[in-house]
Amino acid sequence: MSETPKPLIEVTGLTKTYHMGEVEVRALRGVDLKVRKGEFIAICGPSGSGKSTLFYVLGGLASATTGSVLIDGHDLSNMSDGERTQIRRDLVGFVFQRYNLLPTLSAMDNISMAQFIAGKPQHTEGWFKRSLEMLGVGHRLGHKPRSLSGGEQQRIAIARAIVNQPALLLADEPTGNLDTENSEVVLKLLRDLNERLGQTILMITHNPEAAAFAHRIIHMRDGRIV
Amino acid sequence: MINKLVIANLKHRWIRTILSSLAVGVQVTMILTIVGLSYGMLDDIGQRSRGVGADILIRPPGSSIIGLSSANIPEKLLDFVRKLPHVAIATGTTVHPIGGPNSVTGIELESFSAMSGGFRYIEGGPFRQPDEVVIDQFWARQNKLKVGDYASFMDRKWRVCGIVEPGKLARMFLPIKLLQDLSANTGKLTMIYVKVDEHENLQTVIDGFKKELPGYQIYSLEEFVSLISVDNVPGVKPFIYVVIGISIFVGFLVVFNSMYTAVLERTREIGILKALGATPQMVLSVLLREAVVLALVGSVAGILLTYVARWAIMHYVPGSLTQTIVPNWWPIATGVSLMGALLGALYPGWKAARQDAIEALSYE
Closest chain B residue to A91, measured at CA? B277
The C-alpha atoms of residue B216 and residue A137 are separated, in whole angstroms, by: 88
pLDDT tens figures, A31-41: 899 999 989 99
The 10 Å Cβ neighbour count of residue B98 is 13
What kind and span of H or E run contains B151? strand B150-153
Look at residues B150, B181, B215 and tell me which one is the last residue of a structural domain: B215
Q: Which of B1, B275, B279 comes nearest A61 by C-beta?
A: B275
Sorting pLDDT into bands at 50, 70 and 90, what band is B100?
confident
Four-residue CA torsion sign, B74, B75, B76, B82: positive
Interchain CB distance below 8 Å, B276 and A88: yes
Nearest residue in A to B281, CA atom: A82
Looking at residue B70, what is its pLDDT? 60
Looking at the domain assignment, is residue B53 inside a domain? no
Residue B299 lies in a domain: yes
B312-321 burial, b at 16+ Cβ within 10 Å, e below that, comes to ebeeebbbbb
Q: Tell me: the pLDDT tens digits for B309-322?
A: 999 988 888 767 77
**Which residue is closest to B361 within chain A, CA to CA?**
A100
Q: Do B38 and B315 contact (CB within 8 A), yes or no? A: no
Domain count, chain B: 2
DSSP state at residue A3: P
3-class SS at A21? coil
What is the reported pLDDT for B106?
93
Q: Is the domain of B261 the same as that of B339?
A: yes
Please report the pLDDT score of residue B301 as a whole number: 93
- Do residues B280 and B188 share a domain? no
Segments forming the whole domain that contains residue B199: 61-215
Q: Does residue B273 share a domain with residue B241?
A: yes
pLDDT in tens, A1-16: 445 567 888 999 999 8
Q: Is the pLDDT confidence value at A137 over 80? A: no
What's the rounded mean pLDDT across residues B219-243? 81
Q: For chain A, which residues lie within 8 Å of any Cβ of chain B, measuring from their own Cβ?
A: 56, 59, 61-62, 82, 85-86, 88-90, 94, 96, 100-105, 109, 112-114, 116-118, 160
B173 and B251 inside one domain = no
Chain A CB contacts of B8 under 8 Å are: 104-105, 109
User: pLDDT (tens digit, 9 = 90+) per residue, A68-86?
Assistant: 999 888 888 888 888 888 8
Supply the pLDDT for residue B20: 85
Interface test mutation site (partner B, options A90, A109, A117, A144, max chain B beta carbons within 10 A): A117
Are B15 and B87 within one domain?
no
Q: Could you tell me which residues are beta bridge partners of residue B200?
A: none
Q: Which of A1-10, A19-28, B131-140, B211-220 has the highest mean pLDDT?
A: B131-140
Contact A62 B5 (CB under 8 A): no
Q: Taking CB atoms and an 8 Å cutoff, what residues of chain B touch A112? A: 1
Q: Tens digits of per-residue pLDDT, A89-126?
A: 888 999 988 888 999 999 888 988 888 898 877 766 67
- What does the pLDDT average to over B28-47? 85
Q: Which secondary structure element, helix H or strand E, spans residue B59, and what is its range?
A: strand B56-59
The pLDDT > 90 percentage for chain B reads: 25
Going by pLDDT thresholds of 50, 70 and 90, the confidence category of residue B92 is very high
Q: Which residue has the higher pLDDT, B262 or B29?
A: B29
Distance from CA of A2 to the nearest CA of B (A): 37
Angstroms from A148 CA to nearest CA on chain B: 17
* pLDDT at residue A4 in the model: 58
pLDDT > 90: percent of chain A: 19
List of domains in chain A: 9-225 (3.40.50.300)
Return the pLDDT at B303. Answer: 94
The answer to whether residues B255 and B337 belong to one domain is: yes
CA dist B52 and B45 (Å) reads 11
Decide: B163 and B123 in contact? Cβ < 8 Å. yes
For residue B69, tell me if it sits in a domain: yes
- Among candidate residues B215, B250, B266, the one where a domain is terminated: B215
B275·A100 Cβ contact <8 A: yes
Check B279 against A101: CB less than 8 A apart: no
Residue B157 has pLDDT above 60, yes or no: yes
d(CA A132, CA A163): 9
Are residues B295 and B338 located together in one domain of the fold?
yes
B51 within a domain of the structure (yes/no): no
Contact A102 B269 (CB under 8 A): yes
Residues of B with CB under 8 A from a CB of A: 1-2, 4-5, 8-9, 11-12, 268-269, 271-279, 282, 357-358, 361
- Alpha helices (runs of H) in chain B, residue ranges in sequence order: 2-12, 14-50, 76-82, 109-116, 137-143, 176-182, 202-212, 221-227, 236-265, 267-275, 280-316, 330-353, 357-361
Same domain, B26 and B159: no
B48 within a domain of the structure (yes/no): no
Across all residues in chain B, what is the average pLDDT? 86
Q: So what's the pLDDT on residue A1?
A: 44
Q: Do B127 and B272 belong together in one domain?
A: no
- Within-domain flag for B17: yes
Tell whether B183 is covered by a domain. yes
Q: Does any domain span residue B131?
A: yes
Same domain, B156 and B299: no
Q: How do residues A177-222 score in pLDDT, each as one tens digit?
A: 888 888 888 888 889 888 888 889 999 998 888 899 898 999 999 8
- Same domain assignment for residues B207 and B78: yes
In a shared domain, residues B65 and B197: yes
Cβ–Cβ of A113/B9 closer than 8 Å? no
